[in-house]
Structure 1
């Protein structure tokens, strides 16, 4: 069985993510300290709130070195996606820098935060295997990533403006939406991530 560690840094939807991963066949560890992830095949970095708050929680729990050195599949969700980038205009936060670019407030959104279901224009990345083009996913955010190069973009969405909603950099992937709150399509995406880590 594939083991997925979900990082507990104090600002994430841990129970729902862990339950969803278990539903798609993963052996789930909720990691409260860096040593907990040593035997995992994949890593999920959740996040709610602000990028600065999430990075502070990661540092307080001592996870930054372990995440930086992690060389197996990693999935960042919502703010967990945003901290994969170099920096965020929210809190002027310095992030991991795995993906070139920054995170900025949505400029032309009719209302913020963007809450609810939305389409994702997906490319043919394995993260989206067996998910139809009509699929929708659940979003809660006011900021979105702006990658420096388009080759990391695997999904985009529109809410007053087109924004990046999914990225890949090597074995690291991230979604601005919440797969654990996105019904069967979200479960399929999590199953695809588990398969990537197997």
Structure 2
């Protein structure tokens, strides 16, 4: 049995995620895998990815990982990253594709025509670079991470939860959007902890030790 399974459905460079987790994991074993049996047996699961949501959902189905992801999200410490957050919701405006439906709500595109900062300057889409993440209450995954700490983002779409009590953090970029959600054994973030230096490594450290 491995300690941490990083789910590989062919989308994005998952080796950087694996290396960042291994860096903080101590003696815990970390493996990138597309094997549903390995995902099922792992003690913890990380669900990352990059790319367009329709392609991600199609690859998840093609590799037989759909049910394995749902089962892991129901049973064990589960960390979603970037598209791995968005795919947990019911539907996305990106290709008008259905997601996994773990959380009620939609994935929406940033409205280019009205994306301006506090200084009135036009903001570019995708949202790319460092930005502040503001906590919605205490959570073990925020241990050692100051409220308003900065993480690295790359995305054109954001999640819009139907239930406000799952929102674990927000970020401002032309509008206020949900940048992290949490419920029971699931924690999922829009930013990339593996690209977020000290704050990102602290989040991954917290995940290794998290026992919901």
Tell me: CA distance 1:124–1:13, structure 2 relative to 1, closer, same or farther (3 Å).
farther
Misfit runs of 4+, over 2 Å: none
Alignment of 1:4-153 (within 5 A): 4-25=4-25, 26-70=28-72, 71-107=75-111, 108-109=114-115, 110-122=123-135, 123-153=137-167
Name the structure 1 match of 2:175: 161
CA distance in 2, matches of 1:37, 1:79: 18
TM-aligned CA deviation for residue 197 of structure 1: 5.0
Tell whether the 8 Å contact from 2:134 to 2:149 is kept in structure 1 after alignment: no
Could you say what the CA RMSD is over the residues aligned between the two structures, in angstroms? 1.6
Q: Which runs of 5+ in 2 are unaligned?
A: 116-122
Tell whether the 8 Å contact from 1:41 to 1:197 is kept in structure 2 after alignment: no
**What is the TM-score of this pair, normalised by structure 2?**
0.89
Tell me: CA distance 1:174–1:145, structure 2 relative to 1, closer, same or farther (3 Å).
same
Tell whether the 8 Å contact from 2:90 to 2:100 is kept in structure 1 after alignment: yes
**What is the TM-score of this pair, normalised by structure 1?**
0.95
